Amino acid sequence: MQLALTLVGPEPGAAADALAAIGPALAGAQARVKEPRPLGPLALDLAVEAEDAAAVRRAAEAALAGRAVDVCVQPWNGRKKRLLVADMDSTIINVECLDELADFAGLKAEISAITERAMRGELEFEGALRERVGMLNGLPVSALERAYAERVRLNPGARTLVRTMGAAGARCVLVSGGFTFFTARVAEAAGFHADRANTLLEAEGALTGRVGEPILGRAAKLAALEEEAATLGASLSETIAVGDGANDLGMIEAAGLGVAYRAKPIVAAQADAKVDHADLTALLYFQGYRAAEFVSD
């Protein structure tokens, strides 16, 4: 089987410097390696002949331990995906929006602690969301606009990821356990074709402490991936999903390439690839895009 082993670093030369460590490890995994193919200053591809992709990935990750380089191992064919489904909070953007709203209510420490446990899979997502939103009862709706304007920023590479895949004909969908107020704005800023999220209920200019039902959680994210793929007439193998928290696990496990971005351990352990060092353009390199093909506006 021909595999693609992609190395991506946060700085020029990091991926190339890692080659010396990779070679002996792949030989030990009974893999034959062809000449590296540069994808840009930050990334390169290796064509690898091997029967056991999982063994190649384990060997590569072990060889790269302690190095600031991300690695992805997958079949060479079918790498470019037709559908991207991405989580928003702490993936496409830099913050957890609910935690930032909590800051305006003077409750960030309490609410962020619940968020952390939910994202680690220690709490049921839907119940944890209802609890946190309930604590924001009475918060002025104007706090949402302030939180977006003052706190929310696209993570490095987010816009390039979405714009490049979109320009190549892929559909890009933002799917969040957060709130439509934020996803609509983030989707427009990054270039997503559509967004799905929960709705914060309000009355007389303030939050009511309730969220619209049914809540979009882990099962709904998986359903979004499946529905969007079906609409495109694409198989799940033609999809890529990225996220960081436990409620992303369903879609990450089902996608053709499931990527954990700066993720909680429960997610990193199950994903096909991890991005711990590079920015979100790593997802483009994993698909075989060259830096010269990137689109940022």
35: which DSSP letter?
A: -
Tokens 């991300």 locate to 70
Average pLDDT per 10 consecutive residues for the chain, totaling 297 residues = 96 93 83 92 96 92 95 97 99 98 97 97 97 98 98 99 99 98 99 99 98 97 99 99 98 99 98 98 99 93
Show the tokens assigned to 118. 């939910």
Instruction: Please give the positions annotated as active site.
Output: 87, 89
Tokens 């093909």 locate to 293
166 in Cβ contact with 172 (< 8 Å): yes
Distant-in-sequence, close-in-space partners of 253: CB < 8 Å, separation ≥ 6: 270
SS3 171: strand
Show the tokens assigned to 140. 């002025």
User: What architecture is domain 1-77?
Assistant: 2-Layer Sandwich (3.30)
Q: What is the pLDDT of residue 20?
A: 85
Q: What is the pLDDT of residue 297?
A: 74
165 in Cβ contact with 172 (< 8 Å): yes
237 in Cβ contact with 78 (< 8 Å): yes
Q: What is the pLDDT of residue 35?
A: 86
Distant-in-sequence, close-in-space partners of 269: CB < 8 Å, separation ≥ 6: none
Domain boundaries, the chain: 1-77, 80-297
Residues paired with 173 in a beta bridge: 85, 194
pTM for this model (two decimals): 0.97
For the domain bounded by 80-297, which CATH number is listed?
Answer: 3.40.50.1000
- How far is 178 from 196, CA to CA, in rounded Å? 9
Q: What is the pLDDT of residue 165?
A: 99
- How far is 269 from 216, CA to CA, in rounded Å? 23
> Residue 121: what residue type?
G
